[in-house]
């Protein structure tokens, strides 16, 4: 079961990806993906389209979402898989989580204006597919277009990360709430790309323990957001904490993402794949 080309993490135009849910389903199928989930940030508005597109292609599908959480003052992402996308508690929780994005974007734009980059809010809006989901990625695309930077990683480095002019600290959902929304909607909660967080080892241990005590069940081990050298550490942590393992490219765009759908190495055989917990929810 660990030898399955599952890709359980990617983004569409419903959040900060550049392809539609339908185009992602086609790309996943063409790349040999055998189980697929679309995990837009804080939003399940693309799930029905993703399911219909996957079903039309004969591509096994799970519902998905990536929830923004603030844990120990750091933004952490929690993926949900295999839940009911219409569950009222989840839908309401996600709406609350999206809530502050418009105001935050205005403040980001004000910060950028102070260093001479004008009109960034309006510029970013041109890239936004879902008005409730304006994100740093949309600002990054605009700053590349306007010639301020050569690519989106340079934008994040110079303008959009902590201490930089376009960075606005933000409080997202609480860890326990995000895990609860996913569980109450019948899904499995997964710690997304754990190596990406600026946590000390003590805080990382606390994240895993608290996640587990809230009922979280899995962690991403093989992800496009990790370097291959980071896989074994999180495979060990999955086993240490009794968590299942997930695999996903975190694909956003053919022009920006270095990991395409369905192209990662398989999970190691010593891990329990998260899809073993979700077998009855695949559609
Ligand atoms: P937000 O939810 O508005 O804070 O935006 C977060 C998104 O920005 C992530 O989901 C990534 O898609 C993108 N992102 C974060 N850091 C970087 C980076 N260093 N380079 C490129 N994209 C990034
Ligand atoms: Mn993103
Ligand atoms: Mn993420
Ligand atoms: Mn993601």
pLDDT in tens, 47-95: 999 999 999 999 999 999 999 999 999 999 999 999 999 999 999 999 9
> Which ligand has an atom closest to residue 16 CA?
2
Look over the chain and give the mean of its residue pLDDT values, rounded to a whole number. 97
Nearest to 50 by CA among 15, 76, 74, 75: 15
pLDDT, position 183 = 98
Q: What's the rounded mean pLDDT across residues 90-118?
A: 97
Q: What's the CA-to-centroid distance between 192 and ligand 3, angstroms?
A: 6
Whether pLDDT at 223 is above 90 = yes
Q: Is 141 in the pocket of ligand 1 (CB under 6 A)?
A: no
Q: Are 259 and 215 in contact (CB under 8 A)?
A: no
Q: Is 137 in the pocket of ligand 1 (CB under 6 A)?
A: yes
Residue of minimum CA distance from atom 3 in ligand 1: 135
Nearest to 65 by CA among 33, 32, 42, 89: 42
pLDDT, position 198 = 86
pLDDT in tens, 13-33: 999 999 999 999 999 999 999
pLDDT, position 1 = 77
Looking at the DSSP bridge assignments, the partners of residue 189 are 80
For 247-270, the DSSP string reads: EE--B--TTT-SS-TT-SPPPPTT
Q: What is the pTM of this model?
A: 0.97
Per-residue buried b or exposed e for 35-70, using 16+ beta carbons within 10 Å of the residue's own CB: bbbbbbbbbbbbbebbbebbeebebbbbbbbbbbbe
Nearest to 218 by CA among 250, 181, 243: 243
Pocket test for ligand 1, best of 135, 224, 251, 257 (most atoms within 8 A of CB): 135
Whether pLDDT at 203 is above 80 = yes
Phi, psi (5° rounding) for residue 191? -70, 120
Ligand 1 atom at minimal distance to the Cα of residue 136:
3
Q: What's the rounded mean pLDDT across residues 192-203?
A: 95
Structure token pair of residue 71: 């844990």
Structure token pair of residue 140: 């990054």
């Amino acid at each position: 079961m660990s030898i399955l080309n599952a890709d359980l993490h990617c983004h569409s135009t419903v959040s900060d990806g550049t392809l539609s849910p339908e185009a992602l389903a086609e790309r996943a199928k063409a790349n040999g993906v055998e189980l697929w989930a679309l995990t837009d940030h804080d939003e399940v508005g693309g799930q029905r389209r993703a399911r219909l597109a996957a079903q039309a292609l004969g591509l096994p599908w799970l519902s998905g979402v990536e929830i923004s959480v603030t844990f120990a003052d750091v933004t952490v992402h929690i993926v949900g898989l295999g839940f009911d996308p219409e569950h009222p508690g989840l839908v309401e929780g996600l709406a609350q989580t999206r809530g502050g994005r418009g105001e935050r974007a205005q403040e980001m734009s004000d910060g950028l204006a102070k260093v001479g980059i004008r009109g960034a809010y309006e510029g970013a809006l041109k890239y936004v597919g879902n008005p409730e989901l304006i994100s740093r990625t949309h600002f990054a695309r605009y700053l590349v277009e306007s010639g301020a930077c050569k690519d989106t990683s340079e934008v994040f480095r110079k303008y959009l990360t902590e201490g930089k002019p376009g960075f606005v600290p933000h409080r997202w959902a609480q860890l326990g709430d995000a895990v609860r929304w996913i569980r109450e909607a019948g899904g499995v909660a997964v710690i997304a790309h754990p190596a990406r967080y600026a946590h000390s080892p003590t805080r990382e241990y606390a994240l895993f323990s608290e996640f587990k005590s809230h009922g979280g069940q899995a962690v991403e081990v093989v992800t496009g957001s990790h370097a291959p050298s980071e896989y074994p550490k999180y495979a060990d942590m999955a086993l240490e904490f009794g968590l299942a393992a997930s695999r996903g490219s975190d694909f956003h765009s053919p022009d920006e993402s270095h990991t395409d759908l369905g192209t990662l190495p398989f999970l190691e055989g010593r891990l329990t794949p998260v899809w073993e917990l979700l077998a009855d929810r695949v559609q």
